Structure 1
């Protein structure tokens, strides 16, 4: 008999892509996977292109908005829970696994009512509102990074699933001179990096300046390219990098935001970084994510403030003057890298379900 699992993930790629990696590993092991998402989330498009049967709930955000949204939020949640219960009756999963997104709360509550075990996975260094609530009563809590949840919920640290091809990126065993810098703003682009990096690189002598590979994010290519040209800086500027393994393999230093997936990827590929956490998230998630790498001495952090340009230039010049630091940082990342996160998560699910069947 094959195990049947309902995965709940959506809203952003940060929830969806790790869930997809786990789902694909489940299928390889002979498990049957269904997907629960929200009608307005990215999953409605992304998951529809995969082999996984997709079930969508008529659900929106439960927080924020005006007084009217706050008043009708409990009603919308009850409707979504009822809709999720009907889907559970149809799918009959052995377990429900939540990765975050609007569908996770009603799906998990419905599973609890139906006495179906629930596992949650938190990708960030501090839990989102939904997972913080669910962690109090679900059967298993998985965290990507240590110390995300309080010990009383017995969290298990298993990392964030990353793309398989990243595991093959060569280790950075030497660096005689800092010659190649990769700038990443995230899939949607960090406009502050697009604005500031051309100016920062222009302050480095042209003969000493490293090669630059800059991903701008959607819709920011022309503006960023023009800025590099304005400052007289040569750079390979692209809107989107399709093969991140090749990009990481090329790079000796990465300058980036500190989203959960990026932080996990940097650890796996062993690339030192300068991280600029997104400052306006109410839970300060990217600061906690960055701390995983800075605590291991595999990254440095620059705050997004009036001194950002000056601090970025300071670190780049410091690494140029002492490239051995980059090798030491790359080596330090091995202590926090988890290469087989998806495999570990699936093994935990198999062990739990096997124990439940025997019990």
Structure 2
């Protein structure tokens, strides 16, 4: 079987694609996998790191408003479609699986042109333009929200990396805290804002460092590589550990009793899968999808939700510290979060790929 994955641009598109690739390889080490991408996206680093072939096509970001750049789109899109079609031809693709973003649009159009079966995977409650288009070309639509507006939805969840999907936080907790230089027996809060950090979240958390110390709570704070926030040194009280980046998020999750973070689709899926409750601080821009990602988990009792504008040291002291000081409540929230998670989405999506390819082969 030969599969082309269109999931370039951001980590939210690339990581589910790579998790699917890993699941396909576990099922058949000889499966052929090619990832579509552009020279601008994170895929230029992430895909080769994971050992998969990357085929680059021209980027065609669509303007969100009526500008003169809109006039250049048809010609540039045609070039990207032709480049994607050439990748499908060279790979002798049996199927294209798209995850949205600007790489997926030419991928879907090229697959339709070459009569290659398509699967669309949508991670967000509000589908983007690319997946709205792709869903018009196929009956095979995998979604991560049961009430997705896309046609013919099949709920599978978001494919996750194996080290996350198989993580046992309780069994790994002591090792994980030792890895980050934390004590084994103190309530621990993990703070992160994505690969680049989040300035407003960082500022509120660092300013609340004295409150954390007074409450006997230790903190692991992933500030992001471009951020310099760091609490004032203190000779007493629990540790407040800041690191610029973390390539072992499985250990970061295992070290924590609770998280404070943004509410991207991948973040919400990972935290629910490992049963880690969180304070979700949705990104205040875009179409509000981060709030929609977090709301079902919060409604089930697996977290708290606070607007970015309301997050402050005072809010942390009044709303978060009492939760961390109550182990029974943290345990209840962990159980509730875990019920909202899915650890086998990669396997479910891989089965869908096999089924569609075999069905298409039988119909020839």
Q: Check if 1:328 corresponds to 2:332.
A: yes
Aligned counterpart for 2:4 among listed residues 1, 6, 15:
6
Structure 1 residue 231: Cα displacement: 12
Structure 1 residue 203: Cα displacement: 3.5
Which has the higher mean CA deviation after the structures are superposed, 26-35 or 114-123?
A: 26-35
The answer to whether the 8 Å contact 2:47/2:54 transfers is yes
Q: Check if 1:217 corresponds to 2:217.
A: no
Aligned counterpart for 1:28 among listed residues 26, 29, 39:
26
Match of 1:245?
A: 250
The answer to whether the 8 Å contact 1:182/1:213 transfers is yes
Closer/same/farther in 2, CA of residues 231 and 146 from structure 1, 3 Å limit? farther
Match of 1:158?
A: 156
Structure 1 residue 18: Cα displacement: 1.4
Closer/same/farther in 2, CA of residues 55 and 320 from structure 1, 3 Å limit? closer
Q: Deviations over 1:231-252 (max 9, x none)?
A: 9984111011222222211211
Structure 1 residue 307: Cα displacement: 5.5
SS in structure 2 at match of 1:135: helix
Aligned counterparts of 2:44 and 2:38: Cα–Cα separation in 1: 7
Match of 2:72?
A: 72
SS in structure 2 at match of 1:212: strand
Which has the higher mean CA deviation after the structures are superposed, 297-306 or 318-327?
A: 318-327
Match of 1:299?
A: 303
List gaps (5 residues or longer) in structure 2: 172-184
TM-score when normalising by structure 1: 0.89
Q: Residues 157-196 of structure 1 correspond to what in structure 2 (within 5 A)?
A: 157-166=155-164, 167-171=166-170, 179-196=187-204
Aligned counterparts of 1:27 and 1:68: Cα–Cα separation in 2: 44
Aligned counterparts of 1:267 and 1:200: Cα–Cα separation in 2: 26
Aligned counterparts of 2:97 and 2:203: Cα–Cα separation in 1: 40
Aligned counterparts of 1:230 and 1:59: Cα–Cα separation in 2: 49
SS in structure 1 at match of 2:36: strand
Structure 1 residue 228: Cα displacement: 3.9
Q: Deviations over 1:175-195 (max 9, x none)?
A: xx9711111111111111111
TM-score when normalising by structure 2: 0.88
Aligned counterparts of 1:79 and 1:49: Cα–Cα separation in 2: 28
Closer/same/farther in 2, CA of residues 56 and 183 from structure 1, 3 Å limit? same
The answer to whether the 8 Å contact 2:143/2:153 transfers is yes
SS in structure 2 at match of 1:100: coil
SS in structure 2 at match of 1:305: helix
Which has the higher mean CA deviation after the structures are superposed, 335-344 or 270-279?
A: 335-344
List gaps (5 residues or longer) in structure 1: none
Closer/same/farther in 2, CA of residues 209 and 66 from structure 1, 3 Å limit? farther
Q: Deviations over 1:267-299 (max 9, x none)?
A: 111111100000112x22211111131122211
Structure 1 residue 316: Cα displacement: 1.4
